[in-house]
Amino acid sequence: METYFSTDVETDGPIPGKFSMLSFGSAAFLANGTLLDTYSANLERIPGALQDKDTMDWWNTQPQAWEAHRKNTKPPEIVMPEYISWVQTLSQRERAKPVFVGYPATFDFMFMYYYMIAFAGTSPFSFSALDIKTLAMAALGIDFRQTTKKVFPKFWFGPSRHNHVALDDAIEQGELFCNILRQVRG
């Protein structure tokens, strides 16, 4: 059995280390769509890290989301061990292996893996992640570049909506993942 940790990150640039992860949210789901629990945190920026001009220009168009990510920030060296403990405790409780899920997984997992290793020394997900877009590509039988949310069947989407607040987006993406998985498994 697996527990799926749908995770969304918000950043101030395209790569970890040079830029900072501002916040992340993680929503733990069972394959049947049951939401087990959530975790989210706003992070202090990495000392000396840069801010990408294009990313910051985009954030200027999202003032409410930006403000949400800058409240009650905590040091990543405190947050990441707490997060890993949460993942491990929940996985043990469910007697399930943890699986990282993202959209796109390459971006979200890149930041999360960097932060988990840099600030906690370990990753409960090993070094792999499940990409929702790739699963959707297989379910729809279309090319990867054609696979966008615009072509997804409406019944794949749950009630949550994307608003660039990390936890809200993680829940929305988790609902999407579970609905696609349900269709794929029949």
- Say what the pLDDT of residue 162 is: 84
Mean pLDDT by 10 residues, the chain (186 residues): 97 98 98 97 97 97 94 98 98 97 97 98 97 97 96 91 92 97 94
* Residue found by looking up tokens 């269709």 in the block: 183
- Say what the pLDDT of residue 3 is: 97
* Residue found by looking up tokens 């971006």 in the block: 107
- Say what the pLDDT of residue 31 is: 96
- Say what the pLDDT of residue 159 is: 85
Q: How many domains does the chain have?
A: 1
- Say what the pLDDT of residue 161 is: 81
Q: Which domain holds residue 82?
A: 2-185
Q: What is the CATH number of the domain that holds 65?
A: 3.30.420.10
- Whole-Å CA distances, 59 to 55, 75, 114: 6, 21, 22
- Say what the pLDDT of residue 80 is: 98
